[in-house]
């Protein structure tokens, strides 16, 4: 069966939120939960539709939309707590332990979940994750990608979405009209998400990390980063791989922020090998 957004989609009611997920694979197989990045129109499906199929041949794969994204409940910036939300989702899905895979913002949640709920984690994987601290080599202030991302929330036009998708990739051919339209339509159908995100800009990090706790992470950890990432500089993963004891880093050239899309076959192959 060909996996589509529609035939993998369902809503899950957790302790605090109604969350949208896409799910595929054997319900009795080991669980893998994939967490999307930030940005207007971002969803688990938009981030991982090229990965869910190959992974679900071996695992129970859940693409989770965080509150404030996709079809999940809206949430104010004061109420956001992604690590707790992920724990509640695992509880509701009767998943005792899972491997967590996160892109960008979702990578931050993956790392935080690793030190806050180690008993719920099998392995951790991130792509383009930020440690939330100033770097020596990356740009000062907001990166080019973050500036366009914030503009996308304020002016979610097709042209802005096109610039956003383009800056996320090294190869602009990945900025397809289908991908751009999909994100623009998701923004248009959930205007409250945009308003809440804009209200929170500059007030609080979406995912706050305590770097002093990263060395306590015991789960095997695989970090991916694109050498040409214009959203989150690869220096972030260089720092992270030094802090997490059982971590390794795969740095890929000619690759932007959406490594799992631009290098989907290599990503899927490396992830399956690491999880096995």
Active-site hit among 82, 193, 257, 263:
257
Closest by Cα among 80, 83, 89 to 118: 83
DSSP for 159-219 reads HHHHHHHHHT-SSGGGS-HHHHHHHHHHHHH-HHHHHHHHHHTTTS-SS---GGGGGG--S
> Token pair of 194, please?
């945009």
- Three-state DSSP at 134 gives coil
Active site residue 257: yes
CA 169 – CA 102 distance, rounded (Å): 17
CA 233 – CA 131 distance, rounded (Å): 10
Residues marked active site are found at: 257
């Amino acid at each position: 069966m060909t996996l589509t957004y529609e035939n993998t989609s369902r809503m899950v009611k957790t302790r605090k939120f109604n969350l949208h997920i896409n799910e595929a694979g054997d319900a009795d197989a080991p669980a893998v939960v994939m967490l999307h990045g930030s940005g207007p129109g971002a969803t688990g499906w938009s981030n991982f539709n090229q990965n869910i199929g190959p992974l679900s041949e071996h695992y129970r794969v859940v693409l989770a939309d965080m509150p404030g994204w996709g079809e999940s409940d809206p949430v104010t910036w004061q109420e956001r707590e992604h690590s707790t939300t992920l724990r509640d989702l695992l509880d509701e899905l009767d998943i005792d332990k899972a491997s967590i895979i996160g892109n960008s913002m979702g990578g931050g949640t993956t790392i935080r979940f690793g030190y806050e709920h180690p008993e719920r984690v099998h392995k951790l994987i991130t792509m383009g994750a930020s440690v939330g601290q100033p770097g020596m080599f990356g740009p000062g202030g907001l990166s080019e990608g973050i500036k366009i991302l914030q503009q996308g929330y304020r002016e979610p036009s097709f042209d802005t979405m096109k610039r956003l998708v383009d800056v996320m990739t090294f190869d602009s051919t990945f900025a397809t009209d289908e991908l751009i339209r999909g994100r623009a339509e998701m923004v248009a159908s959930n205007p409250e998400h945009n308003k809440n995100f804009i209200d929170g800009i500059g007030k609080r990090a979406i995912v706050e990390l305590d770097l002093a706790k990263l060395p306590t992470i015991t789960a095997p950890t695989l970090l991916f980063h694109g050498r040409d990432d214009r959203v989150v500089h690869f220096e972030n993963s260089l720092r992270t791989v030094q802090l997490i004891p059982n971590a390794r880093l795969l740095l890929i050239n000619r690759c932007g922020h959406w490594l799992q899309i631009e290098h989907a076959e290599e990503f899927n192959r490396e992830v399956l090998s690491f999880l096995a």
